[in-house]
Chains A and B, each alone.
Chain A
Amino acid sequence: MIKGLALLSCAFVLGMWTGELLGTWLGIRANVGGVGFAMLFLILTKEYFVKKGWWKVEMEFGMEFWNKLYIPVVIAMAASLNVKSAISSGPLAIFAGIVPVILAFVVFRFLIKSSKVS
């Protein structure tokens, strides 16, 4: 179990590091795609391990736990967001927060349709 968790953590740290390095390299104060890199590292490592026959069900258990914990984490996150100041920072914040989202839903629908046609 802990081996799987350690593997997940390694992928996480390497991914975050890559994201920070990319951010520094691009000259911005932000992590660029750290989570995305970490996910790719994890997937690639898993495929490599499976191919080599090193992968064990028990290892997956350590990762599966965090995978399942994901929704509870999101719930906790939602409860600790600064909802009040978001709503009270004025009508512009509410409009500029909601209107583009609706617009983006329309754009998304269009993109999905056109990507399926082509």
Chain B
Amino acid sequence: MEELIKVVDKNGLIIAFILVGLLTWLTDLFSKKILDSKIPGSAIAIFLALVFGYLGGVWAEGENGLADLKWFKGLALLGGSMFRDFAIVATAIGASFVLIRKSGILGLISLVLGIAVFFLAGVGLAWAWGYRDAISLCTIGAGACTYIVGPVTGGALGASSEVIALSIGTGVVKTIAVTILTPIFAKKIGLDSPSAAMAFGGIMGTSSGVAAGLAATDPKLVPYGAVTATFYTGLGCLVCPSLFYLLLESLF
């Protein structure tokens, strides 16, 4: 037993392959046999992974969900930003440049629209909650964009650590919400073509959420959504602590 623990401890990434493979195998089987393939296995797997992430957070009381438990620490490496970004870039191999160029303008419009919608809605909710100072409002609004824009904005403006934590929490909830809701609403909102996926990536912005949501909807759409979503966080970090903050400051 001691030897096994040593092997598991040393080979976290390999253990992560086993864990994810096992989960995918089980959810695929469940999707096929019990749900008649109505919900894709990957969507169930991603949802279950979120549940495990929650449980991991409860058990280990760390910041990386299930990956804080010793046996599962390889998940943080496999699901970390390096592998995530690398795999997203690799999906581009199935994308067509002609299609991306054709929908470039739509993607650009959706980016600007997306940041404005999330920021305004976030500020509105924070205001309704009783926050009145421009710095806190701006930080929470930025958190509603992504969990990176929030702390970057809060840090730049000098927001309190409590507000910054809140903005990160908001951003993570957004990622989870997009992941779960995208496959549910995809058909209703007309998310069925590469150009629609580009607009979707621009509006939703959270790279992880968009990529996970599209993966559960239709893996072919992933590269198109990712190519616009990747600009969202950068654009958000650019306008939230500057332009948007100045606008808020003049109002409050």
Binding site for B on A (CB under 8 A): 8-9, 11-12, 15-16, 19, 22-23, 26, 28-36, 38-40, 42-44, 46-47, 60, 63-67, 69-87, 89-90, 92-105, 107-109, 111-113, 115
- Tell which of A30, A80, A94, A108 touches B53, judged by Cβ atoms closer than 8 Å: A80
Known: A85-B169, A86-B172, A99-B125. A79 touches B56 (CB 8 A): yes
Set of chain B residues within 8 Å of A80, measured between Cβ atoms: 53, 56, 64-67, 75-76, 79-80
Residues of B1-40 contacting chain A, CB below 8 A: 16-17, 19-21, 23-24
Residues of A within 8 A of B106 (CB): 111, 115
A-B contact pairs, 20 of them (CB 8 A): A26-B234, A28-B237, A29-B237, A31-B234, A32-B234, A33-B234, A38-B89, A75-B24, A75-B46, A76-B16, A78-B50, A79-B66, A80-B56, A80-B66, A86-B172, A100-B144, A105-B185, A107-B114, A111-B109, A112-B191
B238, A109: Cβ atoms under 8 Å? no
- Inter-chain pairs besides A75-B45, A104-B118, 4 sampled, C-beta below 8 Å: A30-B237, A97-B173, A111-B203, A112-B189
* A36, A46, A71, A74 interface centre (most CB from chain B within 10 Å): A74
CA distance A96 to B175 in the complex (A): 12
Distance between Cα atoms of A101 and B177 in the complex (Å): 7
| Count of chain B residues near A, Cβ 8 A | 108
B152 & A96 in contact (Cβ 8 Å cutoff): no
Residues of B within 8 Å of A92, CB to CB, are 125-126, 129, 140, 166, 170
Residue of B92, B113, B121, B234 touching A28 (CB-CB under 8 A): B234
Residue among A60, A79, A96, A107 making CB contact with B144, cutoff 8 Å: A96
> At the interface, is chain B mostly helix, strand, loop or mixed?
helix
What 9 A-B pairs are tightest by C-beta distance, nearest first? A97-B173, A84-B57, A32-B234, A89-B169, A76-B79, A77-B79, A66-B90, A93-B169, A100-B121
> B residues within 8 Å of A by Cβ?
16-17, 19-21, 23-24, 42, 45-47, 49-54, 56-58, 63-67, 72, 75-76, 78-80, 83-97, 100, 106, 109-110, 113-114, 117-118, 121-122, 125-126, 129, 140, 143-144, 148, 152, 165-166, 168-179, 181, 185, 188-191, 195-196, 199-200, 203-204, 207-208, 211-212, 215, 219, 222-223, 226-228, 230-231, 233-235, 237-238
* Chain B residues within an 8 Å CB radius of A84: 53-54, 56-58, 65
CB closest residue in chain A, given B78? A76
Contact A96 B231 (CB under 8 A): no
Give the contacting residue for A43; candidates B92, B176, B199; CB below 8 A.
B92
A residues in contact with B16, CB < 8 Å? 76
Do A47 and B90 touch (CB < 8 A)? no
Cβ 8 A contact of B176, one of A35, A39, A81:
A81
Question: Which B residues are in CB contact (< 8 Å) with A71?
Answer: 24, 42, 45, 215, 219
> What residues of A have a CB within 8 angstroms of the CB of B175 in the complex?
81
In the bound complex, do residue A108 and residue B200 qualify as a contact, i.e. CB atoms below 8 Å apart? yes
